[in-house]
């Protein structure tokens, strides 16, 4: 009886680990986006954050960088839905997710 309960606990903990890994599949952690991208100017300011014009330091490629300050891990999880949807979209009229970073309690979504 005790072994069955222990086995169930192991299965549940493995499920939680897989679920968490999937939620953050498209977000790079512990990488400072400022090391790769230079902010050129502000494009817009919204309710959830600011959008900047960014330039890749190596290639010179331009992109929009949406920067959102998050206070908790739960708040970060709310934005994972948008990131996962953008990552799966492949249409010429929908903005494409290039990459996303989470660094210093800020979520950077590069499009």
Measure the CA–CA gap between 70 and 80, rounded to whole angstroms: 12
Strands across the sheet with 27-29, in order?
A: 27-29, 99-103, 106-110, 62-69, 50-56, 37-45
53 annotated ligand binder: no
Contacts of 87 (CB under 8 A, 6+ apart): 25, 26, 97
Binding residues for ATP: 66
Binding residues: 66
């Amino acid at each position: 009886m005790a072994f069955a309960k222990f086995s169930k606990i192991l299965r549940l903990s493995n499920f939680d680990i897989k679920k968490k890994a999937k939620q953050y599949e498209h977000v790079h952690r512990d990488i400072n986006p400022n090391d790769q991208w230079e902010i050129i100017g502000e494009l817009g300011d919204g309710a959830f954050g600011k959008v900047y014009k960014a330039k890749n330091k190596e290639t010179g490629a331009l992109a929009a960088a949406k920067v959102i300050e998050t206070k908790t891990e739960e708040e970060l999880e709310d934005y994972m839905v948008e990131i996962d949807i953008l990552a799966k979209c492949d249409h010429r009229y929908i903005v494409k997710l290039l990459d996303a970073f989470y660094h210093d309690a800020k979520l950077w979504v590069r499009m």
